[in-house]
Amino acid sequence: MANVRLDGLYKRYEDVVAVNDMNLEIEDGEFICLVGPSGCGKSTTLEMVAGLTSPSEGTVHISDTDVTEFPPKDRNIAMVFQNIALFPHMDVYDNVSYGLRLRSVPKDDIDDRVGRAMEILQLEGMLDRMPAELSGGQRQRVAIGRAIVRDPEVFLLDEPLANLDAKLRVHMRTELQRIQRELDVTTVYVTHDQAEAMTMSDRIAVLNNGRLQQFAPPLECYDRPANLFVAGFIGSPSMNQVHGRVENGVFESESFDVDVAESGVEDDTEAVFGVRPEDVYPAWRTEDVTEWSRGITTTVDVMEPMGDEIFLYLIPERLSRRGDAAVIEGEEGEQQTLLMAVDPDADVAEGDQIEVVFDRTKSHLFDAETGEALVHSLQPEPPEVEKGD
């Protein structure tokens, strides 16, 4: 059992900084996800923990031992790779027992441990198969078997589910969680899929451009995103973000105004207003909302029925009055339409005019310049809200 600590970790390549001042404290037995878009440095960070890449600066501690200069084999870690990386010239038994054989563990002991791992992974009877004869899911499980059989202190997973089909991915996701709970091993899991990160981990480390954006439990990242990037990255579909300005206690934008006087945000601030699609309500269903904003008249532009809910793309009246397509589309991909999630039985059609309100306790304001979150509620003291569904 081990904790992992990254101190001021940097990785510089010739012209890029892949990882920029990474500080992380991962507790014993914790399951954390490194999540971020491609090229954000999450895999590099994992490789530095594994010892496959050496950091340009900073230290890595495992179990309070400085392992920065240790080769991978002396770190007592196990890793599952995105491309699975089973040795194609060895059968399942040889693959799984590879690490044990290298450490000259007695044969009986090896058989015992391999047997147990195969049981956990439901791979009994596959020991003499070659990797090429296995299905994708089986290969993945063999790779996990190879990792758990050595009883490592830290378990590193680099997008292990990325190459599996959607159905298998969801299955393996729960499987992995079960295994992790059973073994109670400190786990670092790299993924670009925020849904994986949300569902599996104890804490999420959101990375962007090599920098740590937020390191918090999934729901905190969701409900109290530290900045615009986290707000946009965590949650699907992502949070509505509207650029504007706080003036005389009112957030003013091209789309709508919101009274933000009670939030304590200073006047004369360039700000971004953020609200998740599920916190936008039609005005006729305000009984769900404890504190709501003033109604905004909008036109339904596009409907996306998902089955369990419908996503509505709304054009605020103020924008549509200007009738300028470019404004509605937004410049440089800046979002101008408002996304709302409604029940599937809601009586709306494309082209309808509806009035919507925001849940003020779940509306966010971000500093437009730095992107840092200013407030996560427009109420002075967010009351204990029980979300009705």
Partner 1 sequence: MATETGLTDRTDEDRNVLERWSRLAILDSDRVYRGLFAVIVGFFLLIALFPFYWLLLLALTPERLFSDLGLVPIAFNVASFIEAFQVVPFHWYMLNSIVMALMTTVIVIVIGSVAGYVFGRLDFRGKTALLLAVLIISYFPPTAFLIPVFNLLTGNVEVLGISSPRLYNGPGAIVLPLSALVMPLAIYILATFFSQIPDGLEDASRIEGSTRLGALYRVIMPLAAPGVATIAILTFIITYNEFFFSFLMTNGEPENWSPIVWGITRYQGTRAIQYNLMAAASIVGVIPMALIVVLAQEKIVSGLTAGALKE
Site for partner 1, rule CB under 8 A: 50-52, 71-73, 77-79, 81-89, 98-99, 102-103, 130-132, 146, 150
Q: CB nearer to partner 1: give 43 or 240.
A: 43
Q: CB nearer to partner 1: give 83 or 122.
A: 83
Angle between helices 136-148 and 166-183 (to 10 degrees): 20
Q: 155 is written with which tokens?
A: 């378990």
Q: Which of 196, 198, 197 is nearest to 171 (CA)?
A: 196
Q: 332 is written with which tokens?
A: 């440089």
Q: Which of 235, 241, 207 is nearest to 371 (CA)?
A: 241
Q: Which of 2, 6, 367, 64 is nearest to 211 (CA)?
A: 6
Q: CB nearer to partner 1: give 71 or 217.
A: 71
- Nearest distance from residue 295's CB to partner 1, in Å? 55
Torsion angle (degrees, nearest 10) of CA 352, 357, 358, 359: -130
Q: 362 is written with which tokens?
A: 């779940």
- Nearest distance from residue 74's CB to partner 1, in Å? 9
Provide the residue type at 294 as one letter. Answer: R
Q: CB nearer to partner 1: give 94 or 257.
A: 94
- Nearest distance from residue 98's CB to partner 1, in Å? 5
The helix or strand, by DSSP H or E, that contains position 366, with its residue range, turns out to be strand 363-367
- Nearest distance from residue 379's CB to partner 1, in Å? 50
- Nearest distance from residue 158's CB to partner 1, in Å? 9
| Strands 257-259 vs 250-253: parallel, antiparallel or unpaired | antiparallel
Q: CB nearer to partner 1: give 78 or 271.
A: 78
φ, ψ for residue 28, nearest 5 deg:
-55, 125
Q: CB nearer to partner 1: give 139 or 364.
A: 139
- Nearest distance from residue 161's CB to partner 1, in Å? 15
Q: CB nearer to partner 1: give 103 or 171.
A: 103
Contact between 356 and 374 (Cβ < 8 Å): no
Q: Which of 389, 173, 169, 142 is nearest to 289 (CA)?
A: 389
Report d(CA 52, CA 32) in Å as an integer: 20
Report d(CA 253, CA 232) in Å as an integer: 19
- Nearest distance from residue 45's CB to partner 1, in Å? 15
Q: CB nearer to partner 1: give 84 or 179.
A: 84
State the DSSP code for 75.
S
